[in-house]
Chain A
Amino acid sequence: MTNGNENENENVIGAELLAAWALDAVDEDERRAIEQQLGSDPELRARADALNSTVARLAVSTPAEPPAGLRDRVLSAVAGTGQDARPAADGDASPAAGHGTTGSSADGSSAGTERAGVADLDDHRARRRPAARRWWVGAVSAAAAAAVAVAVVVSQPWAPTGGVTEGDQLTAIEQILQVEGAERLESPVTGGGEVEVARAPTGETVLAARGLPAPGEGRDYQMWTIQGEAAPQPAGLLEVQDGLALVRMQDVPADAALAVTVEPAGGSEAPTTDPIVVLASS
């Protein structure tokens, strides 16, 4: 297809990994990098769309009759779920603007959005137990995890634009706290700094960190959600700039604790160190 190739060098990552990206076969960091690139590179975007169309043919080639109860479940979940009513003003790194992503909103205006459908499902699956200090206990139990795992959608819309301010943090947290039933948690961090979390019953959550030291060479801060004794679920990396970090998450189960660990760069599938902070509803 196409003409222009003067950008080719810049686009090495995107071009090289685009097919893998279209197949959902890249890791989170790569996906983020590629989708950011797609937002600023129309030619790459066009190639991505073409690949997605091809992959879509694979996708629809395996239809099966859904179980009888599913229709009612979906429709009643939807009945209690609000919608992202605004157009995607947040560029293309944003989900759902195109293909291959779920509908997390990267701006801050959906504080009032109901997510009852997903929350119901979480309730349905979760064993409600505000576990005490044994966060990692269940880490080996993949089977248990399978029964409760819920994908947490994470975005750090502030990070790419360079520089989070404490004002940004405050605004984001306030937006969540306006939702009825929202709660605020905070805790000092082992090693310095503090983390503040605001979470709505809808699962929408904001995590803000202040005064965090750099994670160290070749290391990243990684977030986790923990439900009962199930294995901790990775919830994305925490990007720190000048000690500050701000993350928005969706679909965080109501009874899940949030934790942060220091992991090898790029993160781990299961925590390899003890958490430096754990936040749980009392």
Chain B
Amino acid sequence: MTSTAGTGPGRSAARERDAHLVGLLRRSATGDQEAFAAFYDAVAPSAYGLARKIVRDADLAADVTQEALVDVWRSAERFDPDRGSVVGWVCSITHRRAVDLIRSTQSGRDREERAGVAAFERDRDDVTEAVESAEDRGRVTECLGTLTGLEYEAVTQAYYGGLTYRQVAERLGAKLATVKSRMRSALQRLQDCLGVGA
């Protein structure tokens, strides 16, 4: 597994920003609401954007984002910077909340039709203070483009569609083992392409 430190100056800027966010989160963990407000401003676009892509409804996405950020506030003390970036952590909590909502309402069926295909084709127009640079997002799109058809479907239907690998297999008419292995190869390929440091 690569531990490449990333590509170009964008990465070190990102690391600096992450250090800043860790500081805000640490202060938040002591009950500092002002710090958390600044933290919100930095991470909310990522969290909300992700939630909206998954639940595909602005109001529900706002609810999901609120729940996730309250979770973040509550468990701020537990964030472990050795495990990954702050924004990644916030997004993982948001993703779980969004997926829980989808699975519990079983509305996935209708949504999944759109999710896979639409995953990277919209929602880019209304970004103002995006946490990630446009360049960085372009890179993600580019790397997704290197996946095979099945890898792409497996990753996007699962991650943006909120489906389990079993549901993905069912939808694609593929074997479970195949879907599992495509998810593995897809993430490996993305990791290599993106040069993600662990």
Q: When A83-B31, A83-B77 are in contact, do A59 and B46 touch as well, CB less than 8 Å?
A: yes
Residues on B with beta carbons closer than 8 Å to the beta carbon of A55: 88, 92, 159, 187
Size of interface on B: residues with Cβ below 8 Å to A: 95
Asked if A91 lies at the interface with its beta carbon under 8 angstroms from chain B, I say no
B13 within 8 A of A: no
Number of A-B pairs, beta carbon distance below 8 Å? 275
Hey, what's the 0/1 contact readout for B104-123 against A, CB within 8 Å counting as 1? 11110000000000000001
Q: In the complex, which range does the number of interface residues on chain A fall in? A: 35 or more
Query: In the complex, what distance in Å separates the CA atom of A126 from the CA atom of B52?
Result: 22
B163 touches A59 (CB 8 A): no
A99 at the interface (CB under 8 A from B): yes
| Given A49-B83, A95-B75, A17-B44 contact (CB < 8 Å) | no
Q: Cβ of B91 and Cβ of A59 under 8 Å apart? A: yes
SS class of chain B's interface: helix, strand, loop or mixed?
Answer: helix
Of the candidates B74, B77, B85, B158, which one forms a contact with A20 in the assembled complex, judged by CB atoms under 8 Å apart? B158
Which of chain B's residues have a CB closer than 8 A to the CB of A83? 29, 31, 73-77
B50, CB-defined interface residue at 8 Å: yes
- Cα of A229 to Cα of B127 in the assembled complex, Å: 38
Contact in complex: B48, A25 (CB < 8 Å): no
Interface hits, A28-87 → B, CB 8 Å? 46-47, 49-67, 69-71, 73-75, 77-79, 81-87
Judging by beta carbons under 8 Å apart, are B159 and A23 in contact? yes
What is the interface of chain A, defined by CB distance below 8 A to chain B?
Answer: 1-2, 16-20, 22-27, 46-47, 49-67, 69-71, 73-75, 77-79, 81-88, 95-103, 113, 115, 117-118, 121, 125, 142-143, 145-146, 149-151, 231, 233-234, 251, 269-270
